Amino acid sequence: MKSFLLLLLLLLVFVSFSTTTNAAYNIVDFGAKADGKTDAAAAFRKAWAAACGAAKPAMIYVPVGRFFVSQGLFQGPCKNNATRVFIDGTLLAPPGYGGGAGMWIKFQYVDGLSIYGGTLDGRGQAMWACKTAKLRCPTAVTSLTISKSKNVLIRGLTSLNSEGFHMSIYGSSGVTVLRAKIFAPDESPNTDGIHIQLSSSVTIVNTTIGTGDDCISMGAGTANVRIQGITCGPGHGISIGSLGGVLGDPGVENITVKSVVLLGTQNGLRIKTWGNPYDGYVRGVVFQHAIMKKVQNPIVIDQNYCPGRVNCPGQSSGIKISNISYADVRGSSATKVAVKFDCSASKPCVGIALQDIKLTYMSSSTPAQSFCNNAKGSISGVINPPSCL
């Protein structure tokens, strides 16, 4: 029913654009063929040039069918601030791996972009096999990149089997992702659902994500983010970090994660920083109304992140973590330690607030546990497992 309503909405908007003074451009009119083989990249670029160059609101339309697109790099600024892309069909990435210098579909320097519907099939299986075999692989391609843009809406998009990240929001502001569906197998490496970095005022709502890495990850310079109504799993959970891997990374602040469900994920609500002395911060984070089902690490702050034990053993994280609240987090943990705050000796976690935490270990005969190291905070309501703050 939802798919029918979305299709009806797209049809109505398309008819509206076609019958008014707004400009509408169908990629088929520029030579694209829905055969899944003929490269439609040139047709897409021509349609973009026409729409972006229009002085009035403009629309690009991708009809039903399978369109092979070797690469789509779409750049502004546009002459209008209402360029819309309506996709009824499926865009197919190249069948090999490592093309496009790490990016497949990219929009940059655009103000007022909207993307509705459609499917992006990243066909990342060859890249996953290369990584799994530990070969010398090229850079994995991100399926959709929003770069240095503002006032962007992505609604009803489906992303499948990306080589690397499914969606990257970089250096942008005012980006909303609504009712997206993002999927890759749980064994697919580094296929983060949505990655946010150096961006502010980002909203992700009513979205389903299941991948081989973080469902949503927030890197350095992320601020004023609202994440709500997310179903995550499989994957590595909803993560802030990793931070502090290099000198000079900006901090992360004002993050709200609300009304989320995590299903069998490696982590639940996670903050992770490298065990390096580089300065930085994570502050003003609210985790609220979260349901965990067989999650390995439901609540975790890890300031001793050091994969491979290279360059950081024995060092202390310089990232200051403060004012982090967890309220109404409940469900089951797949490990005994359901709440873990492993913080920095030089920059202890402060201002951690726990309220109404109800997490149980899957083994009914063994109670769940908490672990604290260099962490200070407060508790209220019912706390299970008992707090170690």
Distance CA 360, CA 348 (A): 27
Tokens for 379? 């508790």
Residues 221, 195: contact at Cβ < 8 Å?
no
Letter for the amino acid at 39? D
Sequence-distant (6+) residues with CB within 8 A of 365 are: none
Distance CA 375, CA 55 (A): 56
Tokens for 350? 């402060």
Tokens for 43? 């047709």
Burial of 348 (0-12, 13-18, 19+ CB in 10 A): middle
- Quote the radius of gyration of the chain (alpha carbons, Å): 22
End-to-end CA distance of the chain, in Å?
48
Concatenated DSSP letters of 68-97? E-S-EEEE---SSS-EEEEE-SEEE--SSS
Give a three-class secondary structure readout of 97-164: CCCHHHEEEEEECCEEEEEECCEEECCCHHHHHHHHCCCCCCCCCEEEEEECCEEEEEECCEEECCCC
User: What are the φ and ψ backbone dihedral angles of 132, each rounded to 5 degrees?
Assistant: -65, -35
Locus of tokens 């579909």: 105
Q: Count the neighbouring beta carbons within 10 Å of the beta carbon of residue 177.
A: 26
Residues 162, 142: contact at Cβ < 8 Å?
yes
Q: Report the catalytic residues.
A: 213, 236
Distance CA 157, CA 179 (A): 7
